[in-house]
Structure 1
Amino acid sequence: MEAVKVIIDEAIAKELDLRNLPLSSNTFSIVDLGCSIGPNTFIAVQNILEAIKQIYQSLSLDYQIPEFSIFFNDQTSNDFNALFASVPPNRQYFAAATPGSFQGRLFPEFAVHFFHSSNAIHWLSKVPEELMDRESLAWNKERVHYTNARQQVYDAYASRSLN
């Protein structure tokens, strides 16, 4: 989680427009999809909170920093009791669980401001066809990941996740 902290910080700074973010209350909602039972989920959530608070501070909006609700999501078979037994005691957020597959709808419309998932590619409903074609530039040599793969492999997964 520490290795991707810089990526998360940059993405939040670039993509999250706090000035135009509709808050129906003073609560900012974050979901960690596929949280498992921790502790990585708590590190990720803390990194996200710090990055969001940094934006508020950089915009001189310290006085408007909202309260945070974190929804930890995973399959119904996840041991949420173990997860909540290890929630950091000094957390700066309200914690809740939302069991179920994120292949379907988990939340009401406009209820979540930020979604995070450390590892979701294994939940794709279908492998991109070009990864299976030995003649394709995106052929992934039967690997189930795209770490250190050609750009075409990354592009095939990225286009699949948009479908």
Structure 2
Amino acid sequence: MEKPASASRTVMTQIIFPLDTNHHDTMFGGKVMEYMDKAAAIAAMRHARMQVVTASTDSLDFVAPIRVGEVIEVEAYVSWTNKSSMEVCVTVQSENLYTAERTTTVTAFFTFVALDDKGKPAKVPKVYPETEEEIRMFATAPERHELRMKRKRERQQPAKT
């Protein structure tokens, strides 16, 4: 069975308060990452319709600051699937509510693994892209997957002394 990427699309909106920011009045990176992980997990669960765990995060790029008083919109969707894993594309945009200016502030790819009732990896439905962006992300996903697998293999090798 296949599902469209749009079926997993998740959008979370938050206003940024002073407690969400650092001494520069910009949002803590870890707080942004928390929201991204939550939105990505929801997208993965919507796709798989089972429990999931975060396996990796990569290409996490902070491209612009998020300021106190702005609103962020965290958008996530399943961009590619393997046997039991799902790549989730996540984008964060900030919005100045007074000027309506919107800025892409953070982008990343999260990988989730679906789990069965016993906590073992479970097969997930294939995803298919519909929009131009989804088609582009889907087409480039196998290369990102291979890079993740290469990193994983390198980390599993014994340290050289």
Return the TM-score normalized by structure 1.
Answer: 0.28
The structure showing larger relative contact order (alpha-carbon pairs under 8 Å, at least 6 residues apart) is 2
More strand by share: 2
Structure (1 or 2) with the larger CA radius of gyration? 1
TM-score normalised according to structure 2 size: 0.28
